[in-house]
Amino acid sequence: MNNPSQNTVKDVKVALSKTRSLLIVLPELITLDTAVAAKLLVELLAKSLNKPARLLLPKEHTLPNRVADFLGYTQFDKELVVNQVLPLKYTMSLPNVEEGTEVEWKLEKETLEVTLKPKSGKVDFSKLAFGAEGERYDSLISLGAQAKAMLNSAYQDSAIAVEEIALINLDCHPRNENFGGVNVVDTKASTVTEVVFELYKSLGVKVSKDNADLAKKTVVVSTDGLRRIASSETLVRLVELEKLADNNVSEVVRTHYHSLGKKGLALREIMLKNAKLEQDSHVLWSHISAEELNSLEIDASVLDGIEQLPYNICKDVKVAALLYQTASSWRAVAIADDRQISLFHWAKSLGGKATASIGMAELKGDLDTVSKTMLKSLGQEALGKASIEGTGESVTAPASEEAPKEEPAKNLSVQNSSTRSGANSSSPFTKASDEQVKTLVQESQGNIPTSTSTMLQAQKAPFEKDKKFDGPN
C-alpha cells in the first residue's frame, strides 16, 4: 500500500471493490459540509454501487436548523442509522462430546478456526450447530475528521467492535492524523463534499442534478461565498458542478448573501458595533445579547451555523468568534481562517464540540467572565499561547453558573487598519461597499426585483423566528 498520506480516490475505489457493507461515521459536530457529504456518499454506495451503507450516529441525533434547511430534514432516515456496533457473538453447540474435551478457537480476518482435542476417540460433527449474532461491516468511512477523537460518541461507544474494521479516512484538513488504513486527505479542497465528488468521478458515476446543486451550494456557503478557499481546485470543481446543475455559482452567492433583508443588515451592524480585535492573538470576536436579538425579532437558532453566516474574516485574523446569548447561557461559536489551526481542543476544553475549523461551546456567567474564558482558551488551545494580553485575570473554566446578565451594547471598533476591506467603517464581517449595502436595502424593500429560483431557505426566511426551535444539536 502507498504511504498513508499519499492515498488517492483510486485507492478508495479498490477498497470499495472488496467491501460488501459499510458504515459512514461523522464528527461529533455535524456541519453542512459533512452532512451533505454523507448524503451524497450514502446515495453513491447504495444506489450506484449496490453496497449497503449505514450511518453510525448517536441516538436521537438532530441536525442544526440551518443544516436541516438545506437538506430538508432534521434527522437522517432512522433506517439508515446505527447507534452502536457490537462485537459478533459466536455460538457453537456440539452434543455427545466426551467430557474433558478441550475446545480452542481463534478469529483471524474473515476465518474462524475451531480446534477440538478429545481425550480419546473421535468427535462426531454430524450434529454440529453453529451461529453468529450481530451485524457485519467490512469497512468504515470517516468524513471531515482530523483524528479519531473527533468522531462522534456512537463511534467511541463502539471502539472495541470497530477497532478491527478497515477504516477509510476522507478529509481536506492539512493536519489530519492519517488514522485510517486508507487516507485520502485532499488539502487542496476546501470541503469534504469536494472529496466525495471526486470519488463519484473516479467511479464513473454522474452526480444527479439535485445533488450537484446541493453540493455547489455547500461549497459556496462553507467557504463564505468563496472568500475562504484553499486553492484554485475548489473553483475548478465548482465549474464542473455548475455544468451538472441548473443555477450558476454567482446566483448561489447572490441568493444566500443578498436575501438577508433589513434584519440581516441590522444584525451585521450590531456585530460590527460590538466587535473587538485582539491583535496579539489575531482573534476577532463580537457579542450579541438576547435583548439585541429580541429587538430584531431574530431567533438565536439563526446563529448556530457560523460557517453559514456573513462573517468573512479580516486580513491577519486567524480566528473569528461570536458570543450570543440564549435564555440560560452564552453560546460561543468560532471559525478558523488559518488551516493549520484546529479548534477541536478549544471546544472540548469548554465542554463543547467541534470539527477542525469550526467549534461551538456553551458557557454560563456574565459577559465579562464568559468572554475572558473564551479568549483565554482560544489563546491556549487554538493559537498555542499561554495567555492573551488584555483579557485580565486568568480564567480556565466558566466561573459562574448563574443566568447571564443582559448588558447594554458598547460601541467598540476594530482597531486593525489593515483589513481586507480597507481602513474604513465597513463591517469586518462583510466586504459590501456602501453602494452594495444601499442596493441590498432597496432589494429588501422590494424596489429591485431579485431572483427567487434558488432560495436556499425555502421554508422560512433566514432570519425568521422559529417558534418550534428546540435548540441546537
Ordered by start, the domain boundaries in the chain are: 4-85+137-254, 89-133, 262-444
Type of residue found at 233? E
CA 193 to CA 203: how far, in whole Å?
16
Q: Percent of the chain at pLDDT above 90?
A: 32
Predicted confidence band of residue 384 (pLDDT cuts 50, 70, 90):
low
Q: In the prediction, which pLDDT does 37 show?
A: 97
* Residue 2: per-residue pLDDT: 40
Phi first, then psi, for residue 118 (nearest 5°) are -75, 160
pLDDT interval class at 315 (50, 70, 90) = low
Q: Radius of gyration (Cα) for the chain, nearest Å?
A: 26
Given this model, what pLDDT does residue 358 score?
Answer: 87
pLDDT in the model for residue 313: 58
Instruction: State the chain's mean pLDDT as an integer.
Output: 75
CA 310 to chain centre: 18
Q: Does residue 189 register a pLDDT over 90?
A: yes
Please report which confidence band the pLDDT of residue 215 belongs to, taking 50, 70 and 90 as the band edges: very high
State the cell numbers at 469: 426551535
User: What is the pLDDT confidence band of residue 96, given thresholds at 50, 70 and 90?
Assistant: low
Residues 6+ apart with CB under 8 A from 463: 260, 261, 263, 264, 267, 296, 298, 302
Q: How confident is the model at residue 192 (pLDDT cuts 50, 70, 90)?
A: very high
Higher pLDDT, 397 or 72: 72
Q: What is the pLDDT of residue 416?
A: 33
Range of weakest confidence among 1-5, 275-279, 348-352, 422-426: 422-426
Would the CATH topology of 4-85+137-254 be identical to that of 262-444? no
Q: How far apart are CA 255 and CA 222, in angstroms?
A: 15
Bridging pattern class, strands 129-133 and 89-93: antiparallel
Which range has the worst mean pLDDT, 236-245, 257-266, 447-456?
Answer: 447-456
The larger pLDDT score, comparing residue 308 to residue 158, is at: 158
Superfamily, domain 4-85+137-254: inorganic pyrophosphatase (n-terminal core) (3.90.1640.10)
The second-level CATH assignment, the architecture, of 262-444 is Roll (3.10)
Grid cell, residue 54, equals 449505514
pLDDT at 352 exceeding the cut of 60 = yes
Residue with more model confidence, 264 or 102: 102
**Per-residue pLDDT at 8 exceeds 80:** yes
SS3 (DSSP) at 368: helix
Query: Given this model, what pLDDT does residue 271 score?
Result: 84
- pLDDT of 447 > 80? The answer is no
Tell how strand 358-363 and strand 330-336 pair up.
antiparallel
Q: What is the mean pLDDT of residues 244-250?
A: 78
Band (pLDDT 50/70/90 cuts) for residue 461 is very low
In percent, the amount of the chain with pLDDT more than 70 equals 69
pLDDT: which is higher, 229 or 311: 229
Strand partners, 115: 104
pLDDT at 455 over 70: no
CB-based contacts of 203, cutoff 8 Å, min separation 6? 13, 16, 44, 48, 49
pLDDT score, position 23:
95
- Please report the DSSP string for 270-308 in residue order: HHHHB-EEETTTTEEEEEE-HHHHHHHT--GGGGS-GGG
Q: How confident is the model at residue 433 (pLDDT cuts 50, 70, 90)?
A: very low
pLDDT of 120 strictly over 70: yes
Instruction: Compute the average pLDDT of residues 230-259.
Output: 80
Per-residue pLDDT, averaged over 287-295, amounts to 90
19-48 tens-digit pLDDT: 888 999 999 999 999 999 999 999 999 999
Q: What average pLDDT does range 167-173 have in this prediction?
A: 95
Helix (H, G, I), strand (E, B) or coil at 113: strand
